[in-house]
């Protein structure tokens, strides 16, 4: 898998086709994000696609190295508009998706959460059609089978995922995410400049 990742490539035409270059208006953007702006047209900022490709290649190199380890990659999305796409991408990659509300300290106290769910499994069951079945959600089942921190985190919208990104930074876990011209991205390891309000752009990155 890591060998195939290293050979992936993107072109300017692909980025233009999926609308990666479209930023926010000048009035709704941050001065902090001037580094990813190429120009503006009718007060609409245009993202520098050259920087997008450079950071994309760096991200592919990091992902290729991360694939050598057994711990999971988390696909995090706290925007309900993209939940289905994120879950499907994580399923195809054989990884984990988190699209629910984030519990503060969830990543920092991960081992505590995993231990609690493991103990609950012994006592949680449901009588259904005369048989006892475990009441274990997909999230709980993952805790029980993969009791470890993630090796990498991908965030589809950094602006709406402040706490996951901050906790990953504190724990030294690499965190990649799509940043727009209105996103403060000091806490993210590797930003991918792009339009985080576009379903086409998000789908392009997660695929």
Distance CA 156, CA 99 (A): 10
Among 103, 38, 92, residue whose Cα is nearest residue 206: 92
Question: Rg of the chain over CA atoms, in angstroms?
Answer: 19
139 strand-pairing partners: none
74 pLDDT above the threshold of 60: yes
Question: What are the structure tokens assigned to 23, written together?
Answer: 């930023």
Which sign does the torsion angle of CA 77, 78, 79, 85 carry? positive
DSSP collapsed to 3 states, 128-160: ECCEEEECCCHHHHHHHHCCCCCCEEEECCCCC
pLDDT at residue 185, rounded to an integer: 80
Residue 41 exposed, middle or buried by CB count within 10 Å (0-12, 13-18, 19+): exposed
pLDDT at residue 163, rounded to an integer: 87
pTM of the model: 0.76
For 12-57, the pLDDT digits (tens) are 888 888 888 888 888 888 888 888 888 888 888 999 988 888 888 8
Architecture of domain 2-107+149-206: 3-Layer(aba) Sandwich (3.40)
For 170-198, the pLDDT digits (tens) are 888 889 988 888 888 888 888 888 888 88
Contacts of 53-58 with CB under 8 Å at 24 or more apart are 53/10, 53/12, 53/15, 55/190, 55/191, 55/192, 55/193, 56/10, 56/192, 58/190
For 197-207, the pLDDT digits (tens) are 888 888 888 77
Between residues 138 and 74, the one the model is more confident about = 74
Among 114, 112, 79, 111, residue whose Cα is nearest residue 97: 79
133 strand-pairing partners: 126
pLDDT at residue 84, rounded to an integer: 85
For 113-161, the pLDDT digits (tens) are 767 666 655 544 443 444 444 444 555 555 544 556 788 888 888 888 8
Angle CA 159–162–167, to nearest 5: 150
For 92-104, the pLDDT digits (tens) are 887 878 887 787 8
């Amino acid at each position: 898998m890591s060998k195939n990742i290293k050979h992936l490539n993107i072109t300017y035409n692909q980025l233009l086709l999926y609308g990666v270059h479209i930023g926010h208006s000048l009035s709704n953007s941050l001065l902090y994000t001037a580094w990813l702006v190429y120009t503006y047209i009718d007060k609409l900022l245009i993202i520098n696609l050259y920087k997008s490709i450079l950071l994309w290649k760096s991200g592919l190199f990091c992902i290729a190295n991360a694939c050598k380890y057994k711990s999971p990659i988390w696909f995090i999305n706290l925007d309900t508009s993209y939940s289905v796409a994120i879950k499907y991408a994580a399923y195809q990659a054989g990884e984990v998706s988190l699209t629910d509300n984030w519990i503060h300290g969830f990543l920092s106290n991960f081992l505590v959460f995993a231990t609690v769910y493991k103990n609950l499994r012994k006592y949680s069951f449901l009588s259904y059609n005369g048989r006892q079945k475990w009441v274990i959600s997909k999230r709980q089942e993952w805790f029980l089978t993969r009791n470890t921190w993630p090796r990498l985190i991908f965030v589809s919208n950094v602006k709406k995922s402040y706490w996951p990104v901050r906790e990953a930074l504190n724990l030294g876990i690499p965190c990649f995410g799509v940043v727009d011209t209105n996103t403060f991205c000091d806490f993210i390891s590797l930003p991918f400049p792009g339009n985080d309000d576009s379903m086409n752009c998000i789908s392009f990155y997660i695929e």
